[in-house]
Amino acid sequence: MYRRILAVAGAALLAGAAVLVASTSASAANILSNPGLESGTLSPWSCSGNLGSVVTTPVHSGSRALQGAASAADNAKCTQTVAVQANTAYTLTAWVRGGSGYVYLGVTGGNQVWNPSAASNWVQLSVAYTTGASQTSLQIFVQGWYGTGTYYADDFSLDGPGGNPSPSPTTSAPPGVPGTPGTPSVTGTTASSISLSWSASSGTVTGYRVYEGTTVRATVTGTTATISGLGACASHTYTVAAYNNSGESAKSGATTGSTTGCTSTGAMAAPYYYNGWGSPPSITTVMSATGIKQFTMAFMLSGGGCTPAWDSSRPLTGGVDQQTINAVRAAGGDVEISFGGWSGNKLGPNCSSATALAAAYQQVISAYNLKYIDIDIENTDEFENEAVQDRILGALKIVKANNPGIKTIVTFGTSTTGPTYYGTRLINQAAALGANIDVFTIMPFDFGGGADMYNNTVNAANGLKNALKTAFGWTDAQAYAHLGISGMNGYSDQSEITTTAIWTNIRNWANTNHIARLAFWSVNRDRGCAGGGVQESCSGIAQSDWAFTSITAGFTG
């Protein structure tokens, strides 16, 4: 099994609307407010970056429609949150056009669809969603795509029963609650603070509460706030709610900001080690010979359904993989565990929801008391499956909330100039969902790198840096501090050759720019076999044993 990745040049187009499951409830109805924007105002819609507006042309029906002015830095995501019933099927529809065909309709935490033929014509999009066992509200959204221009949407419908009436007057929502504030924007950052601003709520407002998850971080009377006392180079996701004597509004859309002061700790010099093939070497011998302290252990897959197992066949604990991890830790090192890879039966497609996938990740985290997890998202079953991408990001968001201090990594393929369509989508969705990913790692091999693997790797890494800046509003230093490189030592599947000299130059560039992670595939292959081509247990080139690992051990971030 080789850890391969194909550079994808374009999107796989979803040519039509999804087949829907209609609600079985006899009380189905459109429960959205202002579904055709005929009120002439956005309320209760909330649009990121204040980029939403109501227009009179073009419209699908009636006299008004929603316009989203997507820019290079903001996808103009517009949301509405409604009360729903648990364990109930809903159908979301809307008519969209413009945005170069990149107009998305979906349910936050659920599926989304798009249709490229909507570039110049009105096209109806549809999404089916079934609420969870205790779910009482859901958020629907429409959005454009970064840099693809203005989109339009009209005649929204969320078909299904509204939320159950409250059991008593004491728990019913009182009248006079303010409208939902606009999604906040990050207006400034320091090494210990993030400043926010947002558009005012409608109605009578006493003040605003700034939330991080369910915790109130600030209470203010105006429409700006600064959250202080934060750690350097840390990401935080905030929402805002307005309140008065009648109660509190729905929360705004979420925004993510990061403090400055980014420097890499060097803790993520972590080449991949695999017990599945390639004559796995003694890991303590490698540590002693090279000084390496961290490894990325591959691969955690599905042992059947949503149950994790090493390579789908070895037990989660008690086997050779646990013995390897115990040996690394006994020698003063630590491990990242990598989920996924190019082939095999993976957890992402097998787990039915973000919550279920997060629970599978948690089994592994708890079994090994992990400080890092790496989601190696590849191939058409995960990387090129937008629903699975979103499921993985949703699961990692849950993992971060439940495991303070854990570092989450996503690893994916690239082109020679940076992320492909699916890589860019993964980054932008991570920002939109507030997934709080710590490190985005590209794999610059099997990507058309040819004979110039150093410059093509650097170009790809700088393309990733620029994509992170666009998605998160980061500086160069902040973006580099969230960036990783995972190469392939020696011969790749496309006969690209990374020599020890090239890898040394890549390592030096990584240190100069203070990136977060440096890895390669794999320690098993870190042995010489000149002229050997692609092998499981050697690099295919002339080298001393463990040379690439020794070079990687010099990564300081």
- Where do the domains of the chain lie? 29-160, 185-258, 272-553
Which one-letter amino acid corresponds to residue 489? N
Banded pLDDT at 201 (limits 50, 70, 90)? very high
What pLDDT is recorded for position 371?
A: 93
Sort strands 334-341 and 372-377 into parallel, antiparallel or unpaired: parallel
Range scoring the smallest mean pLDDT among 15-24, 136-145, 426-435, 515-524:
15-24
Sequence-ordered list of residues with C-beta below 8 angstroms from that of 44, at least 6 positions apart, any chain: 33, 34, 80, 81, 179, 180, 250
**pLDDT average, residue stretch 467-489:** 94
Mean pLDDT of 148-155: 92
316-338 mean pLDDT: 95
Q: Say whether 382 is catalytic.
A: no
Distance CA 398, CA 357 (A): 10
What tens digit of pLDDT does each residue of 495-506 get? 999 999 999 999
Q: CA–CA distance from 529 to each of 122, 454, 532 (Å)?
A: 60, 22, 5
Alpha helices by DSSP H, listed for 154-260, are none
pLDDT for the residue numbered 28: 52
Q: Please list, in sequence order, all residues whose beta carbon lies within 8 angstroms of the beta carbon of residue 380, skipping any fewer than 6 positions away.
A: none
d(CA 258, CA 473): 9
Nearest-10 Cα torsion for 200, 204, 206, 212: -50
pLDDT digits (tens, 9 = 90+) for 255-281: 877 777 655 444 589 999 999 989 999
User: Which of 151, 154, 149, 173 is closest to 162 using CA atoms?
Assistant: 173
Mean pLDDT of 480-488: 96
> Which CATH class for the 29-160 domain?
mainly beta
- Please tell me the least confidently modeled range out of 10-14, 43-47, 424-428, 480-484: 10-14
| 335: Cα separation from own chain's centroid | 22
Comparing 29-160 with 272-553, is the CATH topology the same?
no
Q: Is the pLDDT of residue 555 over 90?
A: yes
pLDDT above 90 covers what percent of the chain?
A: 69
- pLDDT score at 21: 31
* The predicted structure's pLDDT at residue 262: 58
- Where do the H-state alpha helices sit in 369-482? 386-402, 421-433, 453-472, 476-480
Nearest to 75 by CA among 154, 181, 147: 147
Residue 20 in this model has a pLDDT that exceeds 70: no
Instruction: Please tell me the predicted confidence (pLDDT) of residue 279.
Output: 94
Whether 8 shows a pLDDT value over 60: the answer reads: no
* E strand or H helix that includes residue 90: strand 89-98
At 105, list the tokens: 């309709």
What pLDDT was estimated at residue 267? 59
Catalytic residue of the set 248, 336, 378, 496? 378
Residue 53, CA distances (Å) to 72, 153, 294, 357, 488 in order:
18, 11, 51, 37, 48
Amino acid 424: pLDDT: 95
Where do the DSSP E strands lie in 131-164? 137-143, 150-160
CATH number of 185-258: 2.60.40.10
Residues 6+ apart with CB under 8 A from 326: none
Q: Tell me: pLDDT of 115 over 50.
A: yes
- Decide: 270 and 517 in contact? Cβ < 8 Å: yes
Torsion sign across C-alpha atoms 435, 463, 72, 107: negative
Q: What is the DSSP letter of 553?
A: H
Q: Which helix (H) or strand (E) holds 497?
A: strand 497-498
Per-residue model confidence as pLDDT tens digits over 211-227: 988 788 999 999 999 99
The 3-state secondary structure of 53-77 reads EEECCCCCCCCCEEEEECCCCCCCC
Q: At what angle do helices 386-402 and 421-433 cross, to 10 degrees?
A: 40
Whose tokens are 């989109």? That residue is 151
Coil vs helix vs strand at 114: strand
158-199 pLDDT, tens digit each? 998 888 543 333 334 457 899 999 999 888 888 889 999 999
Please indicate whether residue 8 or residue 100 has the higher confidence score (pLDDT).
100
Write out pLDDT tens, residues 48-71: 888 999 999 999 999 999 999 988
Q: What is the rounded distance in angstroms from the CA atom of residue 280 to the CA atom of residue 136?
A: 50
Would strands 308-310 and 137-143 be described as parallel, antiparallel, or unpaired?
unpaired
Which amino acid belongs to residue 414?
A: T
pLDDT value for 67: 96
Distance CA 227, CA 111 (A): 33
* CATH number among 3.60.15.10, 1.10.760.10, 3.90.78.10, 3.20.20.80, domain 272-553: 3.20.20.80
The predicted model gives 129-141 an average pLDDT of 85
Give 3-state DSSP helix, strand, coil % of the chain, rounded to 5: 25, 30, 45
Q: Residue 169: left (phi > 0), alpha (psi -120 to 50), or beta?
A: alpha
- Flag whether pLDDT at 86 surpasses 80: yes
Q: Supply 291's token pair.
A: 């000084």
CA distance 28 to 161: 5
Query: Please, what sign has the CA dihedral across residues 280, 379, 429, 347?
Result: negative
